[in-house]
Structure 1
Amino acid sequence: MEMRGMMGGFYKLSEWIMRLSVTNVLWLLFSIPFWFIIISVLNLPIPEDIIIVDGDINSVIKAGWWLLGNMLLLPLILAPFTFFPATSAMFSVARKWVTGDVDVPLFKTFFQSYKSNFKQAMLGGILYSLLILILVVDYIFFIEHFPVVGYLFIFLMFLTVVSMFHYFSLLSHFHMKTLQLLKNALILTIGRPIRSLLIVFGIVAVFLILRQFPVLFLFFSGSIVAVYTFYHFNLVVQKMIIQREAIEAKEGQDGQATDDGKQSQA
């Protein structure tokens, strides 16, 4: 029997707290090597000789190389084998919720998605990690010789990160080859700029809010981002389906009109 009123509201809220927290904990556990390295590198002491000084391009370059060698390289190596498969599984659970299957078994769905999408998540992670690594190296190089071009690589890194979220949504929703997923993720990022910006702003807002409450960050950061991101992705997909159906209906009407014209002439 479904509870109504205030008690029903509290019951539904507690259910969603349980769903989000369990999924988030699974995500963290399955990517724990990645997060262990992230926490470790964040606690590294920063040498005084690489502290950025205003207007000193050399300090920026030194900081960039130190950041790449000490804070980015190892996480980028681990990410394809830990972070990407776990995040893909989390997005698969979020997809079920957004599309209406809110009572989906969490553990079973997460484990099955982790196993079935592991290869594509890993391959996508390798490509994204390589791309980010290349963009960071290019930025450090060009900021010294051609600063304007260096800022272009910051923009390209931004596009890469946004397309990565679309990649997770696509992987959880469609059966495609890895390169096709990557291509469509980039198309969505560029072709739907407003929606992509909404995703970015929402993710930043979630992290800024949860940052004030470390305990909540541990239990809700990833799962809320996954639900929010896939929700916007699903809106885009549904709109595209409606547009395609309208085009097909119009083509069908035009074809029927042509056939009727031929019959009348005969």
Structure 2
Amino acid sequence: MELTGWRGTLYRYMDWGMKLAYVNILWLVGMVIGLGILGFFPATVAMLTIIRKWSNGEEDIKSFTLFREIYKKEFLKSNLFGYIWVIIGIILFVDLQFFRSLPNIAALIASFFFFILGVIYLIALLYAFPLYVGYQMKLIQYFKDCIYIVLSNPLFAIFMVLGFYFPYYLMMKIPGLIPFYGGSLIGVALIFISNKMFQIIESKQRHNINTAHK
């Protein structure tokens, strides 16, 4: 018997809460198996893949089986993808700190430039893994598309930042939630917002194609 009204709503929220807690535990286990530095990115990709399928209505998937499959399949590629982002971030940070240490106008302008690049980088990073689990592309294309999305849709960029910040803030205020929702709650927010953004972009592309063919 299917529950309706407030009971049905409560049941759906509880069901989502249990599933998010379960996939978060899988995420943590995946990181431990990869000794942290090698496990974080494939575990994150596997977790976001599951969340994305749930958000698309595929709620009957076998989470553990899919997590294990994606974790193994994407282990090397996701680490390469993730650590390219890490290296880019380190370069931007070092350059920013270098120019901030110089007492002249040219260095001040350069430091402002690298600060702006750093902001774009951080927002693009929020899109990086939702884009990775949603589309099959060459690695370089992911980076291009992330930058394009940030620059062409600043409003959604703000939503993505808020989508990361509020769950993060909640985890910092209630640390006991971290083992159960530390990654999955942020993942849900980022997947939901990025999916809306991707749908808008795809709709615009289809409209442009249809217009060009007329």
Name the TM-score, length of structure 2 as normaliser: 0.88
Would you say 1:129 and 2:90 are equivalent positions?
A: no
Return the letter of the residue paired with 2:140: L
Return the letter of the residue paired with 2:67: F
Offset, 1:148: 4.0
Query: Contact conserved, 2:24 with 2:47, CA < 8 A, in 1?
Result: yes
Would you say 1:142 and 2:103 are equivalent positions?
A: no
Return the letter of the residue paired with 1:208: Y
Partner of 1:250: 211
- CA offsets, 1:31-62, max 9 Å, x none? 2343xxxxxxxxxxxxxxxxxxxxxxxxxxxx
Partner of 2:47: 90
1:241 and 1:136 map into 2 onto residues whose CA distance is 33
User: Which segments of 5 or more consecutive residues in structure 1 lack a partner in the other structure?
Assistant: 35-77, 255-266
- CA offsets, 1:95-133, max 9 Å, x none? 112212123221122112222222221111121111111
Return the letter of the residue paired with 1:150: S
Please, what is the CA RMSD of the aligned residues? 1.8
Name the TM-score, length of structure 1 as normaliser: 0.72
Partner of 1:18: 18
Partner of 1:176: 137
Return the letter of the residue paired with 1:203: F
Query: Contact conserved, 1:22 with 1:219, CA < 8 A, in 2?
Result: yes
Residue in structure 2 matching 1:186, options 147, 150, 167: 147
Aligned length: 208
Higher relative contact order, structure no. (Cα contacts within 8 Å, ≥ 6 residues apart): 2
- Structure-2 change in CA distance of 1:244 and 1:153 (3 Å): closer
Query: Contact conserved, 2:96 with 2:114, CA < 8 A, in 1?
Result: yes
Residue in structure 1 matching 2:156, options 195, 198, 206: 195
- Structure-2 change in CA distance of 1:136 and 1:244 (3 Å): closer
- Structure-2 change in CA distance of 1:118 and 1:249 (3 Å): same
Query: Contact conserved, 1:85 with 1:122, CA < 8 A, in 2?
Result: yes
Would you say 1:238 and 2:199 are equivalent positions?
A: yes
Pairing 1:66-85 to 2, within 5 Å after superposition: 78=37, 81-85=38-42
Offset, 1:158: 2.5
Partner of 1:30: 30
2:197 and 2:100 map into 1 onto residues whose CA distance is 36
1:22 and 1:193 map into 2 onto residues whose CA distance is 33
2:204 and 2:93 map into 1 onto residues whose CA distance is 39
Partner of 1:3: 3
2:31 and 2:114 map into 1 onto residues whose CA distance is 28
- CA offsets, 1:49-93, max 9 Å, x none? xxxxxxxxxxxxxxxxxxxxxxxxxxxxx3xx2221111111111
Offset, 1:213: 0.9
Partner of 1:227: 188
Partner of 1:160: 121
Query: Contact conserved, 2:163 with 2:193, CA < 8 A, in 1?
Result: no
Would you say 1:99 and 2:56 are equivalent positions?
A: yes
The percentage of counterpart residues that share the same residue type is 27
Q: What is the DSSP-based 3-state SS (H/G/I as helix, E as strand, rest coil) of the residue aligned with 2:101? A: helix
In our comparison, the structure showing a higher alpha carbon Rg is: 1
Q: What is the DSSP-based 3-state SS (H/G/I as helix, E as strand, rest coil) of the residue aligned with 1:136? A: helix
Query: Contact conserved, 1:124 with 1:182, CA < 8 A, in 2?
Result: no
Query: Contact conserved, 1:169 with 1:230, CA < 8 A, in 2?
Result: yes
